[in-house]
Amino acid sequence: MWFDNHCHLTTLARRDGEATADAAVAEARAAGVTRLLTVGCTVPDSAQAAAVAERFDEVWSTAGVHPHDASEGIDGLEAMLDHPAVVAVGECGLDYHYDHSPRDVQADVFLRQVELANRHDLALVIHTREAWDETFGLLDRAGQPARTVFHCFTGGPAEAREAIERGGWLSFSGIVTFKNAEEVREAARLTPPDRMLVETDSPYLAPVPLRGKPNRPANVAIVGAFLADLLDRPVDEVAATTTANANALFGLDG
């Protein structure tokens, strides 16, 4: 049984209506995905994520501001952290590939969200792209929360070792199946079983052989099966371990 620890049901709902999000959860359930985390990227999106999660027993949500949207600020975010469906702050971090928000603004908004996670004893969901040194530096400055996940891990072995030594979890998406992602696969090979998670980041980053198509939470089973083959471990074992890890990370009962 799988836990898709990072998807965007709100994007599906906005794009195609609530029925599409309902269908995605039903498809996931049929594929053995028993738990999902829908992730907020702005303050309004986080509110919508919590509302979506309320409708399903197997769905939880986060509240956060993505680095792309850092210029919008985080006013109103802290008030959402008491919502019963919200189990983490994020996704937040730094993205120096696109720079949709100025880097100093990204850093400030990231720091403030790290502080919120610490203050409220919540997990932290990090997005980092082409900014590893800066991300680690800001975590040192603010104090890395005890429960921190580096979502959609795109680093290599060096970044993986650093994140793991800090007590972080690494979450692998469909990127690990891509032909040009050998460094990500090397990172997966060295990740301890109790530090590994799986995700879809749907509707983005569909795994091979579905690359280029809209992604769905049900496809986390494809990501997990690929990792099981890569690591020469039974699929059921990888499913059980990554689900237990996600439950521990987000403070959920098994």
pLDDT digits (tens, 9 = 90+) for 134-180: 999 999 999 999 999 999 999 999 999 999 999 999 999 999 999 99
Cβ neighbours of 76 (radius 10 Å): 12
Q: What is the percentage of the chain residues whose pLDDT exceeds 70?
A: 99
- Residue 166 structure tokens: 């800090």
- Residue 225 structure tokens: 């099966």
Which CATH number fits the domain that encloses residue 219?
Answer: 3.20.20.140
> Could you tell me the residue range of the domain that residue 180 belongs to?
2-250
Q: Which helix (H) or strand (E) holds 204?
A: none
Q: Which residue reads 């802290």 in tokens?
A: 78
Domain total for the chain? 1
DSSP 3-state helix, strand, coil percentages of the chain (rounded to 5)?
50, 15, 30
pTM of the model: 0.97
Eight-class DSSP state of 55: T
Closest among 17, 74, 5, 10 to 48, alpha carbons compared: 10
Closest among 97, 95, 87 to 64, alpha carbons compared: 87
Q: Per-residue confidence at 14, pLDDT binned at 50, 70, 90?
A: confident
Q: Per-residue confidence at 34, pLDDT binned at 50, 70, 90?
A: very high
- How many C-alpha atoms does 125 have within 13 Å on its Cβ side? 29
